[in-house]
Amino acid sequence: MVRLLAVVAVLLGACGGDDDSIALSIESPAPGAQIARDSLDGVGALVASVAVDVDVSGSPARVALTVGDVLIGDLDAAGGALASLAAPGPATLTATAFDADGNALATATVDIVVVDPTLADCHAWLDLYGVGYTVGPVRMGVADPVTAMMPINGVAYRTGGAPRTAMYGDCTLIKSLAEAASIWRARGVVEVTDLGVYNYRCINNSGTPPNCTIGLSEHSFGNAIDLASFKATEGTTYSVKDDWVIDPAPYKTCMDPTVPGKDAFMHEMICAIKARGIWNIVLTPNYNSLHRDHFHVDLTAGANTIKGPPAPTE
């Protein structure tokens, strides 16, 4: 529940006189304010930029600002600070005054809500992430076709041994890659090698579209991509084929112990992306031999798995 009032706490000095009193009052943001995540931080994650203004009475040594248990920093001399909040939902801002010995003298809190921006369509999301793109071309199966320019939110791609200059797919897939970029960049990844996006075909090539015995591949709709390796800033490459260690049955990908090093890095990374809800389906080498060399990720409506059922779903 969001509290609708800012809370002000005052602690008087040891002598109890008015000259020794310290008081804080958060003037901005207002209690219950809804602030949109419409800015990008240093790794390309959407954040709400919250300007905080605190009225400070008395002369504390410093006034610190926290969000929950996370320290944002000290207020400036005018009682201001800028907080960048990435997590959507309720958030409590707390200003705490300290003396020179680090003793807390007074606090003030205000509850706000961090919300996602309301945008017109998927193209507006690409604009927000700073993704360059053109609309089209129209191809069979793709509902909202776009051609994205590289990089996508700071992450470069290569395929077939050469750097990509563009990527074709459904707008929703390009948006998902823009979202995933912040998780990769936070871990030092600057380039991703993919095995392809759009391919109008049947699952496991079981027939010729539209006559597919087990349905069309999600690649047919331009909302799936196969991710083969990840290159970090210092030059280290993490290869799904070479570095992923298959987990023992029953393949609890995000719960089983990992091998320290590259295997642990890739497990943590792909599980962090899945936990964020960026892709509905994530198939790892745990799934079957057809996925030994890549992560298949897609936006299958209504799905939510990081392994998949025994029947092929790509």
Q: How far apart are CA 219 and CA 140, in angstroms?
A: 11
Q: What is the pLDDT of residue 250?
A: 82
Measured distance between the N- and C-terminal CA atoms of the chain, rounded to whole angstroms: 41
Q: Which two tokens stand for residue 54?
A: 């605190």
Question: Which tokens hold the place of 206?
Answer: 């079981």
Confidence of residue 4 (pLDDT cuts 50, 70, 90): very low
Q: Tell me: the pLDDT tens digits for 218-271?
A: 999 999 999 999 999 999 999 999 999 999 888 889 998 999 999 999 999 999
pLDDT for 20 beyond 80: no
Q: In this model, does residue 10 exceed pLDDT 80?
A: no
Average pLDDT over residues 6-34: 69
- In the chain, what are the domains? 7-115 (2.60.40.10), 122-298 (3.30.1380)
Per-residue pLDDT tens over the stretch 31-60? 999 999 999 999 999 999 999 999 999 999
Give the span between the Cα atoms of 7 and 174, in whole angstroms.
Answer: 43
Q: pLDDT-based confidence at 1, cuts 50/70/90?
A: very low
* 304 neighbors 280 (Cβ within 8 angstroms): yes
Give burial (CB, 10 Å; 0-12/13-18/19+) of 88.
middle
Nearest-10 Cα torsion for 61, 66, 69, 72: -100
Sign of CA dihedral 285, 286, 291, 297: negative
> For a pLDDT cut of 90, what percent of the chain falls above it?
85
User: Would you state the pLDDT for residue 16?
Assistant: 38
Least confident of 115-124, 261-270, 302-311: 302-311
Q: Is the pLDDT of residue 19 over 50?
A: no
Pairing of strands 80-85, 133-135: unpaired
pLDDT at 12 (0 to 100)? 36
pLDDT per position as a tens digit, 129-138: 999 999 999 9
The mean of the pLDDT values for the chain is 91
